[in-house]
Structure 1
Amino acid sequence: MDAAQSQPQAPGAVAAFARFVLCGGGVGIASSFAVAGLASWLPWALANALVTVVSTLLATELHARFTFGAGGRATWRQHTQSAGSAAAAYAVTCGAMFALQQWVASPGAVLEQAVYLSASALSGIARFVVLRVVVFARGRARAAADVVPATVVRAAAPATPAELCAAA
């Protein structure tokens, strides 16, 4: 198998966004239930912080493997960069929940979930852009750069007997 076939293909923007919604949205919905459950034992901000850390690690792995076509595990650099956008998402969800508490004296669980999920969705769109343009962009560019030289070298090199048999 040559280098061009072994490199993962980066999906287009629409496919990547669909995968992002499935992976990140699934983790986000599970996170909303986890935050609600933990908030009955811990202060809400602490529950949100714990769930944000765990869900960010999980989502970054899913995005590296499936969403952005990196084809493998996320690197520490990618996890670190992803954590920055997760910190912003944490601030947005905390701000939204704080605003809800200021505007509504005793919000019900359904309203709290609606506000939390809406804030998560808005910050999720921003996260998609950051992850696609910054965090996983270099991996795609590096993969493309690795493919081109290997392909050029392959085309210039004479075929081996095994390659001639395989092509027949």
Structure 2
Amino acid sequence: MYHTQHDQDRSRAKSYWEAALSDPTAFLYYADEHYHYLLAQANEIYQQGLISLAERKDMLTRSLNKYSWAVEHNIRRESHWCRGCYYHVLAKGEVVGEVGPEGHYLGLDRKLLGNIEDDKSPKLYAWVNQFDREVAGVVEGLKIICDGQELFQLREFVPKGAGDRRWPYSGD
């Protein structure tokens, strides 16, 4: 099948825009800037004649939906553990590990110590041996409680390199 240069440019521009829309790190840590970037890119692609007005409107709507989700998520994560974010795990104010975006709890030596499972009442599970685990505590807000006492605190951090390759989404 023969594709014109216009078709290739259109496909490339839409692919880059889709990649930008689905970038969780950009929306997590740079929601405002990323939203404006998506709007500007949709407008530019439209002005170049690569997409129709209806496609542009769809892109703007999808950007707004994703931005709205990011704003709500950012408000929630100020006071609650959220999957997708990075946290330092503190015991008595000292960093003893971290929880990654998948909920994996790693020690300072990067050894997997457990994981947080995100259900109606998130819990920290600690690995007892290679195959067994047990509940170490319940996640309440940004604290992990065990037997009614605070076991750990969670403090969000921005990982090194987050957003280093935000724009452009050109595959370079």
Greater per-residue strand proportion: 2
TM-score (norm 2): 0.32
Higher RCO (CA-CA < 8 Å; seq separation 6+) = 1
TM-score (norm 1): 0.33
Greater per-residue helix proportion: 1
